[in-house]
Amino acid sequence: MAVNGRGIPDYTVRRSSRRRTIEIQVRPDSVRVLAPTRVAQSRIDQLVSEKTDWIITRQRELRLRMPLCPSPVILDQGSQLLWLGESLTLDVIVDQPETRINLSSDRIQLMLSRRIRKSRPDAIKEQLELWHRQQAQCYFEQRVSEWSAHMKLSPSAVVVRSYRRKWGCCNSRGVVSFNWLLIMAPATIIDYVIVHELSHLKQMNHSPRFWQEVSRFYPDYADAKAWLNSNGTRLQWPPVDINSRV
């Protein structure tokens, strides 16, 4: 772990006028401090200094728990793709009048237009990613609408985008955003992430009240969090080798 010139671990700070306490978030390769806007930098440095031993120990634990990440695969005929937690077989048909993708219970059929001039691997990867993103947007909009009605909440918009280190986000404008890679996860896991982000419309923090709100609508949230911790690295694009089901 890197130590800066002040003799404390390197970390980033995220300040918020809504926050009332200081929180240290430790990840395998980084440390972030969440702090109220008016807290002095010297107070943050002091707290991080006091917690240095704990930070080092926690990062070691997290690194040991990190699963080995499978290598990306080249997509082509017979490749296995995850879709809502199920492993589907890819069929590729070339030289078609137009590009189209059909989904069945156990297969994804990609029909590639003869007008595409990219290499076969690039064309397959690009078209499948575009389709996954489009389908994720539709799916999340539908499920957010259903959960919002159930929870009696009204997000201002639903956005699907790419995130490196998180599955969802809710901002102060009421926009809920989701990582499109979640379309590969089981529907129950997606529902947890939706409930999690919608709950932030009431509690813009991770306080006990926030988790009480989550548990009202998703009592098994701890199991869903554990699933994401164990299987999240397999939700990647390009896809990884998925010999076993998730």
State how far the Cα of 113 lies from the Cα of 97, in Å rounded to an integer: 5
Say what the pTM is: 0.72
Q: pLDDT band for position 5 (50/70/90)? A: very low
- Which residues neighbour 158 within 8 Å (Cβ) at sequence distance 6 or greater? 137, 140, 141, 144, 175, 176, 177, 178
Q: Please determine, for residue 28, whether its predicted confidence score (pLDDT) is greater than 90.
A: no
State how far the Cα of 162 lies from the Cα of 140, in Å rounded to an integer: 14
Q: Please determine, for residue 13, whether its predicted confidence score (pLDDT) is greater than 90.
A: yes
pLDDT at residue 66, as a whole number: 62
Q: Which two tokens stand for residue 104?
A: 């069945």
At residue 41, φ and ψ (nearest 5 deg) are -60, -35
Q: Please determine, for residue 79, whether its predicted confidence score (pLDDT) is greater than 70.
A: yes
25, 26, 28, 45, 52 from 7: Cα distances, Å: 19, 18, 20, 10, 10
